[in-house]
Amino acid sequence: MNQQQPPPGLAFLKMHGLGNDFVVIDSRGRGAVTTPALARALGDRNRGVGFDQLAEIRDAEDADFTLDFWNADGSRAGACGNATRCVADLVMGQNGASAVSLRTARGGLSALRRADGLVSVNMGQPQLEWADIPLSHAVDPLHLPLDGEPVAVGMGNPHCVFFVSDAEAVDVAGLGARFEKDPLFPQKTNVEFVSVTGPDHLRMRVWERGAGITLACGSGACATAVAAHLRGLTGKRVLLDVDGGQLEIDWRADGVWMTGATAHVFDGWLTPAFLAVNA
């Protein structure tokens, strides 16, 4: 193959943060290409590529880049912390920089590479008012009127955080699917099941709206740390174990910072035939 002539079709990257896996499409310089149909087709792990979320990089006038997020069912996601860290790592490598600015539906965010190589992103301040999360009507977000009395937190997307004695024993699939679509959450919700395993140390398992069980959820980790502190279970800085590894969460004056590992797995091309069928 002539290396100077890329194959026809659409280039993509496969990346993951702690097993939370993403297809990344770089649309800078040409405009967005992702549609609900394309997201659903790509998200199919048997007939497409497979991902927890799709992240599309676009141009930004007031930041280094913009990120749009899609779920595997073709719905839009307002935030995705691990995908943000992955793409920030990618762009920092391209630019030879140690920090970047970006825009998402959440607003302006920033990310940096630490001296140890891990990538941190400031996910902004949590949304704690019922209307901002959003919930369907006025209730106390810190003590929701649901079985298990979970906490609701917004991180650009809604989260429902249950504190349990043993996260390993929870039926994540059954309960996650049930609470994702509870009428209290008009935009559906991510659902986290969390137990305290030590001082400022948490274990989290997660059901993501539009995706199901995932190995990690960055915005969910941030929401969990916020909820744990508000419930008086931890300080503002915690270590959080998820199925795919460990994240550091630090709720500071300027926002909730999340730090962890990232991986660029491979590059690929979607064929013209695939794109034509799934436009």
SS (H, E, C) the chain: CCCCCCCCCEEEEEEEECCEEEEEEECCCCCCCCCHHHHHHHHCCCCCCCCCEEEEEECCCCCCEEEEEEECCCCEECCCHHHHHHHHHHHHHHHCCCEEEEEECCEEEEEEECCCCCEEEECCCCECCCCCCCCCCCCCCCCCCCCCCCEEEECCCEEEEEECCCHHHCCHHHHHHHHHCCCCCCCCCEEEEEEEEECCEEEEEEEECCCEEECCCHHHHHHHHHHHHHCCCCCCEEEEEECCEEEEEEEECCEEEEEECCEEEEEEEECHHHHHHCC
From the list 86, 160, 217, 222, the catalytic residue is 217
Q: Is 217 a catalytic residue?
A: yes
Catalytic residue numbers, as ranges: 80, 217
